[in-house]
Amino acid sequence: MKLTPDKIRNICFTGARGSGKTQLAEAILFACGITSRLNLVDKGNSIFDSTQEEIDKKMTLTLSCGHIIWKDTKINIIDTPGEVDFLGDIISGIYFSDAVCIIISNDEGISVGTYKAWEYAQKFNKPVFIFINKIDKKKEIDELVSKIKEEISINVAPCFIPSDGGVKDILKEDDPQKESLIEVIASSDDELTEKYLESGTLSEDEIQTGFKKGIISGKIIPILCGSAIDGKGVKEFLDFVVEKIPSPKDINSEVDENGSFLAQSFKIMFEPHMGEILYFKVLRGKLNHGEDVYNVTSGVSERMGQIYFPVGKKQRVEAKEVIAGDIACALKLKGSSSFDTFSKNKEEKPLPKPEFPAPTAWMAVYAKEKGEEEKVANSISTLLREDPTLRFGYNPEIKEMILEGLGNTQLEIMVRRAKERFQARLELRKPRIPYKETIRSTVEKVEGKYKRQTGGRGQYGHVWIKLEPLPRGQGFEFVNKIVGGRIPSNYIPAVEKGLRSAMDEGVIAGYPVVDLRITLFDGSYHEVDSSNIAFEIAARMALKKGVEMGSPWVLEPIMEVEVIVPEEFTGSIVGDLNGRRGRVLGMERVGKKQIIKAHVPQKELFTYSQDLRSMTRGLGEFKMKFSHYEEAPGNITQELIDEFKRKKEENK
């Protein structure tokens, strides 16, 4: 069979956790004879969910691809996680597909994963169709269809209905609902509407053409149904995909197998004994086995010596060529990553990539054994290539390695992978808060004198300084008002160095001192005994003494938070933010959702990601960024001071 772009379908399976996305993919492979038995996610033998952590958790944790041939058409399935912690793979799967199939469980209904799938399908302007799964457990789907129409889109149109022993395709059989579906098709296009009003019917060709056109435009969202666990509706599903779902060429007219080669990667994964595997989609032209291509994103030439068509995570079929519109994977590439653009023309511009949400959960990463910090950091950094929503780095303010992501499940899975793949011994801990210290009153003068005489040359440094608080965010200002050579100019830098080092260490609670102007106005020196180190020490002594005299206080970081929730949760969310010492700045209604903006101390947001999901049944989301520092309440300041003193005593 010669494959052409019009004979390809790229479908992203997405939806809520537990809706049966992966099981539907397994049922399709079994129906097409790719697998000799129906693999079951719950039994741990799925070829899509084949990593050990997926088997243990009985859920998809990373995107995977598979393909089948049905009626001379190649159908590529991109199976995505349902857990929103792994939203990066959900976004990638939707972005690089040509149509999105949202799977909804008939017994569990619509949930947060359904809404997320719909949201991103709309954002990327993808055709959508819905598969109601698990009709073996509950035969009636009318109630769920009504809810989908109410909460997802009024453009939904039931195309399959449960019938004895399986499902019925309304358009192919004599069914009372057929006329209603034809009306939906007619109303999706002005010309068809006019024809239908005139003649009262549409030709078979007009129905088929109008249906596909309506799906592409989003004016028709078909609803199919079936059961992935017992195969009901699976073959009808495949027929529908071949006949009604658009090909890559239907979506993008530039998809041409005879054009100049252009491809983009969308996922990189690591497999033991195989190394990194890069998944990509050819957008134009074709790629032959063994050809050299140029990565215009990284500027590296790559030999495509091992290219395959994936069948789940660990099985592959060797590919001789990959044409425009098709999906494949490549092994042993040396300098390529997710979302890179490949061409044979070095002047080609890199293609845009999808935007991903900013992290909302964070943990500190510690090596379990001293001396293994570098190994731990390297293992996490390598794993970052697999998930674009993760961030990792050393925070010098709190002196911790911080791993950020979209939820604790995601962070815990990353740690497990680091342990299993790289034998990195590490653990997650609650991260420190980057508090600061400051003064609230001016200290007109404070002395620091360091004098040591032990026979021979001694040490002598002597300074007088003035401390003044500065407005928030002003940092540190050093003013030199020494006149008459009271301190030689060559020692002034040492004084400033001593002040800065003492400020970095902190005074009352061990956090950096900020928003401070220090004026050096007097001092003395010794012709023989004075030195840079002596003046550094004298300055440190003066700074510590001066801060304690200046009504010292701890500053805490305040985050600007934007919470987006369905309207019915507004009251409870505002109350919760107030309970976290937050200040609500304003609220804005957008559609059926409320956007609440607030300033909240970072200390109070550590568990907010999971707390918000609990309060809103998973329907709330938020983003945050640093805003400013404010004085911490007295009880928090005192707790930090007491903890600092206790640690100093322990270290004596």
Q: Return the closest-CA partner of residue 606 out of 366, 363, 392.
A: 363
d(CA 230, CA 643): 61
Q: What is the pLDDT of residues 553-598, one digit of tens each?
A: 999 999 999 999 999 999 999 999 999 999 999 999 998 899 999 9
pLDDT value, residue 275: 84
Q: What is the pLDDT of residues 140-169, one digit of tens each?
A: 899 999 999 999 999 999 999 998 878 999
Q: Return the closest-CA partner of residue 389 out of 78, 62, 65, 111.
A: 62
**C-alpha torsion sign, points 34, 35, 40, 41:** negative
Q: Furthest-apart CA pair in the chain: how many Å?
A: 115
For residue 453, pLDDT over 80 is answered with no
For residue 334, pLDDT over 70 is answered with yes
The C-alpha R_g of the chain, in whole angstroms, comes to 32
Q: What is the pLDDT of residues 83-119, one digit of tens each?
A: 999 999 999 999 999 999 999 999 999 999 999 999 9
Q: Which residues pair with 363 in a beta bridge?
A: 403
- Domains of the chain and any CATH numbers: 5-173+220-251 (3.40.50.300), 262-343 (2.40.30.10), 361-429 (3.30.70.870), 437-550 (3.30.230.10), 555-635 (3.30.70.240)
Across the chain, mean pLDDT equals: 93
Q: What share of the chain is helix, strand, coil (3-state, %, to 5)?
A: 35, 30, 35
For residue 18, pLDDT over 70 is answered with yes
For residue 455, pLDDT over 70 is answered with no
pLDDT value, residue 583: 97
- pLDDT-derived band at 136, boundaries 50, 70, 90: confident
- pLDDT-derived band at 173, boundaries 50, 70, 90: confident
**Phi and psi angles of residue 542, each rounded to the nearest 5 degrees, phi first:** -65, -40
d(CA 379, CA 417): 9
Q: How many CB atoms lie within 10 A of CB 347?
A: 7
For residue 405, pLDDT over 80 is answered with yes
Tokens read off for 145: 């269809």
Judged by DSSP in three states, 623 sits in strand
Q: Return the closest-CA partner of residue 348 out of 289, 305, 285, 268.
A: 285
**List of residues 6+ apart from 19 with CB closer than 8 A:** 82, 103, 104, 105, 108, 113, 114, 133
Tokens read off for 415: 């740690």
d(CA 12, CA 81): 11
d(CA 62, CA 93): 10
**Phi and psi angles of residue 27, each rounded to the nearest 5 degrees, phi first:** -65, -35
Q: Return the closest-CA partner of residue 21 out of 49, 45, 52.
A: 49
For residue 606, pLDDT over 80 is answered with yes
For the chain, give the percent of residues with pLDDT over 90.
82
For the chain, give the percent of residues with pLDDT over 70.
100
pLDDT value, residue 578: 96
The residue that leads in pLDDT, 137 or 130, is: 130
Instruction: Please tell me the least confidently modeled range out of 43-47, 278-282, 435-439.
Output: 43-47
pLDDT value, residue 651: 78
Q: Return the closest-CA partner of residue 637 out of 435, 468, 481.
A: 435
Is residue 598 within 8 Å of residue 583, measured between CB atoms?
yes
Judged by DSSP in three states, 244 sits in helix
Instruction: Please tell me the least confidently modeled range out of 136-140, 166-170, 420-424, 618-622.
Output: 136-140
Q: How far is CA 490 from CA 314, 450, 486, 535, 542, in A?
A: 68, 17, 12, 11, 19
For residue 629, pLDDT over 90 is answered with yes
Q: Where are the alpha helices (DSSP H) in 506-633?
A: 532-549, 570-579, 608-615
Give me the mean pLDDT over the 499-525 stretch.
96
Q: Is the pTM of this model over 0.85?
A: yes
Instruction: Please tell me the least confidently modeled range out of 53-57, 71-75, 336-340.
Output: 53-57
The dihedral formed by the CA atoms of 546, 548, 552 and 557, expressed in degrees to the nearest 10: 90
The residue that leads in pLDDT, 274 or 155, is: 155
The residue that leads in pLDDT, 136 or 309, is: 309
Q: Running DSSP on this structure, what letter comes out for residue 567?
A: G
pLDDT value, residue 482: 94
- pLDDT-derived band at 456, boundaries 50, 70, 90: low
For residue 270, pLDDT over 90 is answered with no
Tokens read off for 546: 């001066």
